[in-house]
Chain A
């Protein structure tokens, strides 16, 4: 008897998890428990081989069932055709659309962009702290934020190119001193370029960048 298999109920519990361990659908914690037990229990390891055989043959049995004919898809879309027309969602679900947009990037790209964003926030916090210190001549303390007027500038609806990376978009926003202030149901993003620049010139400049596939001016 080893340290892992202290009692029969624990052993039974671990054994009951073997099918899910074989299929790779256990939680990380349970996976570690099973692996620990398998390494120290030869009989359990033998039974795990049985589970693996069952898994392999179950896949073969299911794969031999074939596939449905094209009739199924045809029937589905015939039924969809007679469904009542659906209005596109008009809710301003910015998080949902941002989630969709961000899901198009690879994890590495997102990690890189996240790192850049954190760095930018830290730098910005540093700059603000310095400014406050310089102006007040003392260490920053708690204070109510002053009420500021809405930022004036040119607004445009932008659709980013599907292949544009998060880093490229960040660089694009930075280069144009632009910020995302909203989005629409069809995947467009509303940008604000602060200042009193000429709208057509700004739209033209934004359009010239390869990270966007379309830019439309927004008339207020």
Chain B
């Protein structure tokens, strides 16, 4: 069974087709939510933001020119909304949320290492990356975005995408080393 393409759904949405909107939402909302959640670190805010993202799609579908994939467009809108929401928050609120995020119930990399859980250590180190580095790791590894697509979503040159990915991986390797896992790189 072949799916209706995202581009066709956008065309129908531009004509006011609510069912096409439901299909597009069902197809992409979880990934958009996870991407936004990793940026804003608050589930309720992330839920509010994804409905805003798809509302923008409803309003702007007629202007979508298909020069990038629909999923790339959605993530770019999501990122913009998330950063706007973060800028709108008070410093104190932000500090509280960051503190909550740090007070994680799971093991620290060191504790995970003591349990010989190297995969767990790696996951912990990924979670502890800076937002900038985590974002690029997520876009490349989880959202399967090409160099060009990451450049479009984040709004940076393609060479910067590669450099940022390199430094994100380097930081990851350093965190692993600090937790007792030496990978011999970089």
Interface residues of A, Cβ cutoff 8 Å to B: 16-17, 19-20, 22-26, 46-47, 50-51, 53-55, 57-62, 65-69, 71-73, 75-77, 79-80, 83, 85-89, 96, 99-100, 103-106, 185
Q: Mark B16-37, 1 if CB is under 8 A from A, else 0.
A: 1010011001000110011001
CB atoms of B38 and A65 under 8 A apart: yes
Interface residues of B in 81-106 (CB under 8 A from A): none
* B-side contacts of A20, CB under 8 Å: 140, 146-147
A69 to B138, CA, bound (A): 22
A-B contact pairs, 23 of them (CB 8 A): A23-B140, A23-B141, A23-B144, A24-B144, A46-B184, A50-B173, A53-B122, A54-B169, A57-B126, A62-B34, A66-B43, A67-B30, A67-B33, A69-B47, A72-B33, A72-B47, A72-B48, A75-B47, A75-B48, A76-B21, A80-B58, A88-B15, A88-B16
What residues of chain A lie closer than 8 Å to B11, measured between beta carbons? Answer: 96, 100
Residues in A neighbouring B58, C-beta threshold 8 A: 80, 83
Report the nearest B residue to A47, measured CB to CB: B185
Known: A61-B127, A68-B50, A80-B21. A54 touches B172 (CB 8 A): yes
User: Which secondary structure dominates chain B's binding surface?
Assistant: helix
Binding site for A on B (CB under 8 A): 2, 4-5, 8, 11, 14-16, 18, 21-22, 25, 29-30, 33-34, 37-38, 43, 46-48, 50-51, 54-55, 58-59, 62, 119, 122-123, 126-127, 137-138, 140-142, 144-147, 149, 162, 165-166, 169, 172-173, 183-185
Q: Is there an interface contact between A68 and B33, defined as CB atoms closer than 8 Å?
A: yes
Given A72-B51, A76-B55, A83-B58, answer yes or no on A59-B141 (Cβ-Cβ < 8 Å). yes
B147 A73 Cβ-Cβ under 8 A:
no
Interface contact B51-A79, CB-CB below 8 Å: yes
Q: Kindly provide the distance from the CB of A58 to the nearest chain B CB, expressed in whole angstroms.
A: 4
